[in-house]
Amino acid sequence: MSISNAGSQGSSIYQRIEQFKHRDDRGGDIQHNGMQSKSTDDAVKRLWRNSPGWSDKNGDGRYDLTYEFRAPPEKQENKNTRQFGKTGFTPILENQRNQTRRSLQSIEDVANVTFTEGSKTADSEGHIKIGNYGQMIDTKGHPYKGFPHSSLPTKNQADIEVWFVDTKTEKSVPLAAPGNAGRHTITHEIGHAMGLSHPGGYNGDGKNKLDKSNVSHHEDSQSHSGMSYRGERTGYSNHGGFRSSAPQLDDIAAYQEKYGPNFETRKGDTTYGFNSNTDRDFLTVKTPEDKIVAAIWDGGGNDTLDFSSYEQNQQISLREQTFSDVGGLKGNVGIAKGAVIENAKGGKGNDLIVGNDANNTLEGGDGDDVIHGGRGWDKLWGGKGADTFVYGSPTDSSMFNGVDTITDFESGKDKIDVSGIRTVTGGKPIRLNESVLEQGMGHGLIAGEGAIYYDPKENVSTLMINYGAGHATFEVEVRGQLQPSDVVL
């Protein structure tokens, strides 16, 4: 019986886990693709640099705004009536109205803001007017190509104008739908109406174009902010032509910095992806052909990322401020700062799943999966295939921080990889007893020694390793009979 030893740097699978865990590190001296990274807090400052946002005039801790859809000029026979420096006004039809309501709802979900449709009232702490037009009019009265735009709230401003383009050749906003450019544009412009700027110094008026000199930082990208003009393909992300329909990671942090987080949102047990109970189109996947591009904010409960019906190889992370690669896309699902998601379900491919410090239930599904629970009392299911359960610290599974349970281990096919723990403890190679000991024989392991204990009545094995003074004794429970050859040291 041979015991596998991966060496002092840990196995290639452990190294892959570590690379994935640190893929989204940001701030400080970190650079990505030669561009300086900014922390979430610094990115939020960029988004708020040009506006104070709306004021909580009555001091109740909520921001109560009203909004209305602007009708075209009354003389419909002359839609080219010139007002507001514009011409070519059109009515806002029901699809655009519904998509706008959903965008507003997605902002309500993350912050202490309420939007009420209708005219401005005495209680309104801000009012947003939304209209469609065709062309801009310059100072000489000449028409030129229109573009979506919104003003930013100022200290004493009571009304904001949001304008979208609706012409024969530009119908993206009137035809808005989840994941397309129209819905993304609606959410972007409403972001301006709430006070958010572009992360960089560019604009849509043609005066400050998007180029490298106007890009603020690496995360100035639609991977992190729907307020950015830069597409997501500035690093590893690839959303396959799909766009975010709601606030992204940095947008959520920005809304919460100014307006406060909404902890009432999805405070019960919530499932995202397949079998979703969110009642949000951008957080719901119904078929394996559907795609999802979203950042998740969650107020509490015991929650699950369910990507079980996807057939592609996936990388799923439950760590806040990180992204998962699901459904054939890359970097397309993020978890917002402060949100805790406890559980994840992989799909039919060879998935890599990383948990967080909560008590996680991680299910690999079909395929040869790699699962890393982190701290907490985790329940790990490999599913079909040859699965590897990876540990990188004694505290990943111990009596002090929570003992993991591997529920469906198949000896001779699955592996427990503890090779990365030595890179943390700086210890010498572990000596694992080559005989399986009966439960109850005592756990008097000396430093640098490990053993497997088996309880035949319960059909439960326990792997224990003593990494020496200053480190918790590593311990993991396995349903089934574990053999020394199943352990990668």
Residue 128 in tokens? 């947003």
Closest to 246 in 3D by CA, of 271, 265, 268: 265
> Binding site annotation covers 142?
no
Pairing mode, strands 370-372 and 431-438: unpaired
189 catalytic residue (yes or no): yes
State the virtual CA torsion across 169, 174, 179, 184 in degrees, nearest 10: 90
Q: Where do we find the tokens 């109205």?
A: 97
Q: Which residues pair with 343 in a beta bridge?
A: 304, 361
- Asked whether 198 and 229 are in contact (CB, 8 A), the reply is yes
Q: Which residues pair with 380 in a beta bridge?
A: 362, 406
Check 108, 125, 189, 477 and give the catalytic one. 189
State the virtual CA torsion across 218, 222, 226, 228 in degrees, nearest 10: 50
Q: Give the separation between CA 420 and CA 393, rounded to whole angstroms.
A: 7
Q: Give the separation between CA 277 and CA 64, rounded to whole angstroms.
A: 27
Q: How far is residue 140 from each of residues 85, 144, 408, measured CA to CA in Å?
A: 11, 11, 75
Pairing mode, strands 127-133 and 315-317: unpaired
Contacts of 316 (CB under 8 A, 6+ apart): 305, 307, 324, 325, 326, 344, 346, 351, 352, 353, 354
Q: Give the separation between CA 69 and CA 128, rounded to whole angstroms.
A: 9
> Binding site annotation covers 218?
no
Sign of CA dihedral 146, 148, 149, 150: positive
Q: Which residues pair with 406 in a beta bridge?
A: 380, 478
User: Measured in Å, how far apart are the chain's first and last C-alpha atoms?
Assistant: 14
> Binding site annotation covers 443?
no
Active site residues: 189
Binding-site positions:
188, 192, 198
Binding residues for Zn(2+), as ranges, are 188, 192, 198
